[in-house]
Chain A
């Protein structure tokens, strides 16, 4: 194959890998916003905890890949529910800014709690045998394939749950109206917990895959990745699940392409400027709908 084509195919593959991970985290932001209109700023740190759960499962318990992934998702899902019950539920009637500040506080707590226990960066052992295939000059690693397809799989499952099952219907109903939907016999607290569990579980999956792709983890890893995922969610239209996925792949693509064309110093600057322009053109994100204020 032509060298130029090989080069671009390689960069597209890099972008897909990065975008998949952003997408899994962005889903957590968008789901919580959709149901509570609250931005859960602790979500990036839940992702970090996921990577540390993966580290513990892989080293202390010595588990292989699939049980590690499932255990990590279960662990972060529980963490998400606990955070919601202890920190956000008591504030549900409080001004929204209180909940956002609480979320920031939870994030700082998670970072510093992990820092106190694990000040050194940790190395996640390779759970999967890494094979690199050479397809006409393009290097495709088994890890890349697994990350991209596992993420797409999880997203399809989520999309199905939200749009085709009773639980998903209840979620969408609560996001529509929190006052009257519970009067129709829908257990709002339970559904909100389920939403947090799914969002945090996906962050756990993202933490595991991130830990495999970039195996040096530290307590501050969630901050920047969390911000990028949040921006993905906003670009896609926060509150919209398919939008979050599209936003994440756009951000991943822009980041990789900027680095490919310009000095990498410009990456965050150009990426965020482009997103700013996008927000100016479409203030509600790509798939977001303007919400009219009900009086």
Chain B
């Protein structure tokens, strides 16, 4: 009832907005970002890129919707690095701020609860960085959600890329995994890695877990050391990886570590220092090896915020690019029209590569890159497909 009422109210307001000609018209878009909590660097990148994308569009006079140009207004909500607040922020943006669509949250453990709200409120949500398949799948039917999209690849793809990289490029036969069992992203990718690595002929000799916010990994790492792996896979967030690597080194572990796109924040280098030198991880794009369309974004972002955009920033920018494209293509400011337009959008050339939504899927097809950490920098190593 309440949902129906708010939808009714929304459409009334919308029609008022359309009929009252001459007044300043804006399109409201929402962002949910991890501005505080355990991964504030992710949230900051997301907000920065969102503001940059909106500023560019407004500087050009706004989005062309039908026959008129409309400015874009951004509403940024902090989810405080909490699942419940992510859902609450989505609720607030949809019912109170009445945004047309939402970008974010980024981490899967926040994107999944927020996506449930967006789906039930029939509002488009694009998560830039959530790679867990569950984000865009309905929990009960396992069918794709109607209103939830993402701008990145998914974990089965990434897990396969990393398993192949460890097995073929690093020539590892025995791998160990240490992952956060309480976090959707980490758990999902760890399981895929294990499955694919064993399918290739390797062996996962230790499959160890911990819980979010743990700081002491000595018991698990001692077990891993005892299993004598050739490589250790840490599909964990940038704030935990340095602790795990440092503690492993203190226990006398010398084998290389590999990671997933959650490593991709420059904060990793500040927190980890030289301990991470020489290790590899998979991610969405590399600033060194970016397509020509990305060059302008990278330069603008660096000028505005004094740092190279990380993968979250690039994906957020692409999420907005997809959204702007869909709005212009539909020619209407309507939640249902945007959804239809987005799902049938022809190939979009983004900062993180070309992407396109397949029919009956909310996950774009795109490729991954492997980066190597060297001399305090992320360096492009190779392109990768599973």
Chain A residues within CB distance 8 Å of chain B: 3, 7, 10-11, 14, 17-18, 115, 119-121, 123, 130, 132, 134, 139, 141, 143-144, 210, 213-216, 218, 220-221, 224-225, 255-257, 259-260, 263-265, 267-268
Q: Are A139 and B243 touching (Cβ within 8 A)?
A: no
Interface residue tally for chain B (C-beta within 8 Å): 37
- Which chain B residues border A260 with CB–CB below 8 Å? 219, 222-223
Q: In the complex, which residue of chain A has the Cβ closest to the Cβ of B39?
A: A121
Q: Are B181 and A143 touching (Cβ within 8 A)?
A: no
Q: State which of B166-174, B208-216, B295-303, B354-362 sits at the interface with chain A.
A: B208-216
Please give 8 more A-B residue pairs, beta carbons under 8 A apart, in addition to A123-B273, A220-B38.
Answer: A10-B222, A119-B35, A121-B267, A123-B242, A264-B181, A264-B210, A264-B219, A265-B209
Q: Mark B269-301, 1 if CB is under 8 A from A, else 0.
A: 011110000000000000000000000000000
Q: Are A14 and B40 touching (Cβ within 8 A)?
A: no
Interface residues of B in 196-222 (CB under 8 A from A): 208-211, 213-216, 218-220, 222
Q: State which of B65-73, B89-97, B244-252, B255-263 sits at the interface with chain A.
A: B244-252
B379 at the interface (CB under 8 A from A): no
Q: Are A143 and B250 touching (Cβ within 8 A)?
A: yes
Q: Mark B292-333, 1 if CB is under 8 A from A, else 0.
A: 000000000000000000000000000000000000000000
Give me 9 A-to-B residue pairs in the complex whose CB atoms sit less than 8 angstroms apart, sorted by A's number: A11-B219, A14-B218, A130-B250, A134-B252, A139-B252, A214-B216, A255-B219, A263-B181, A267-B211
Check A119/B219 contact, CB under 8 A, given A215-B243, A265-B181: no
What is the CA–CA distance of A218 and B222 in the complex, to the nearest angstrom?
25
- Which chain B residues border A267 with CB–CB below 8 Å? 211
Q: Are B271 and A7 touching (Cβ within 8 A)?
A: no
What is the CA–CA distance of A267 and B219 in the complex, to the nearest angstrom?
11
* B209, B215, B272 interface centre (most CB from chain A within 10 Å): B215
Q: Are B211 and A265 touching (Cβ within 8 A)?
A: yes
What is the CA–CA distance of A120 and B215 in the complex, to the nearest angstrom?
16
- Which chain B residues border A263 with CB–CB below 8 Å? 181, 209
Q: Kindly identify which residue among A119, A224, A264 contacts B36, using a CB–CB cutoff of 8 Å.
A: A119
A-B contacts at CB below 8 angstroms, number: 94
Q: Kindly identify which residue among B208, B249, B250 contacts A264, using a CB–CB cutoff of 8 Å.
A: B208
B135 at the interface (CB under 8 A from A): no
Which 7 residue pairs are nearest across A and B when measured between Cβ atoms? Answer: A259-B219, A139-B252, A14-B218, A214-B215, A141-B250, A123-B271, A256-B219
Interface residues of B in 76-116 (CB under 8 A from A): none
Q: In the complex, which residue of chain B has the Cβ closest to the Cβ of A252?
A: B216
What is the CA–CA distance of A214 and B242 in the complex, to the nearest angstrom?
9
What is the CA–CA distance of A29 and B220 in the complex, to the nearest angstrom?
29
What is the CA–CA distance of A216 and B270 in the complex, to the nearest angstrom?
10
Q: Are B271 and A132 touching (Cβ within 8 A)?
A: no
B352 at the interface (CB under 8 A from A): no
B41 at the interface (CB under 8 A from A): yes
- Which chain B residues border A18 with CB–CB below 8 Å? 216, 218
B239 at the interface (CB under 8 A from A): yes
- Which chain A residues border B143 with CB–CB below 8 Å? none
- Which chain A residues border B334 with CB–CB below 8 Å? none
B188: min CB distance to chain A, Å: 16
- Which chain B residues border A268 with CB–CB below 8 Å? 211
Q: Are B220 and A259 touching (Cβ within 8 A)?
A: yes
- Which chain B residues border A119 with CB–CB below 8 Å? 35-36, 40
Q: Kindly identify which residue among B35, B219, B239, B251 contacts A218, using a CB–CB cutoff of 8 Å.
A: B239
* A18, A119, A134, A143 interface centre (most CB from chain B within 10 Å): A119
* A7, A216, A268 interface centre (most CB from chain B within 10 Å): A216
Q: Kindly identify which residue among B222, B240, B242, B273 contacts A7, using a CB–CB cutoff of 8 Å.
A: B222
B56 at the interface (CB under 8 A from A): no
A32: min CB distance to chain B, Å: 25
Q: Are A264 and B213 touching (Cβ within 8 A)?
A: no
Q: In the complex, which residue of chain B has the Cβ closest to the Cβ of A143?
A: B250
What is the CA–CA distance of A268 and B247 in the complex, to the nearest angstrom?
21
- Which chain B residues border A120 with CB–CB below 8 Å? 40-41, 267
- Which chain B residues border A134 with CB–CB below 8 Å? 252
Q: In the complex, which residue of chain A has the Cβ closest to the Cβ of B273?
A: A123
- Which chain B residues border A213 with CB–CB below 8 Å? 216
B226 at the interface (CB under 8 A from A): yes
Interface residues of B in 35-71 (CB under 8 A from A): 35-36, 38, 40-41
What is the CA–CA distance of A120 and B41 in the complex, to the nearest angstrom?
7
What is the CA–CA distance of A215 and B271 in the complex, to the nearest angstrom?
8
Q: Are A132 and B252 touching (Cβ within 8 A)?
A: yes
What is the CA–CA distance of A14 and B250 in the complex, to the nearest angstrom?
11
Q: Are A17 and B211 touching (Cβ within 8 A)?
A: no
Q: Are B242 and A216 touching (Cβ within 8 A)?
A: yes
What is the CA–CA distance of A143 and B219 in the complex, to the nearest angstrom?
17
Q: Are A264 and B218 touching (Cβ within 8 A)?
A: no
- Which chain A residues border B249 with CB–CB below 8 Å? 132
Q: Are B220 and A215 touching (Cβ within 8 A)?
A: no
B247: min CB distance to chain A, Å: 8
Q: Kindly identify which residue among B35, B41, B251 contacts A139, using a CB–CB cutoff of 8 Å.
A: B251
A175: min CB distance to chain B, Å: 33
What is the CA–CA distance of A264 and B267 in the complex, to the nearest angstrom?
27
Q: Are A216 and B220 touching (Cβ within 8 A)?
A: no
- Which chain A residues border B273 with CB–CB below 8 Å? 123
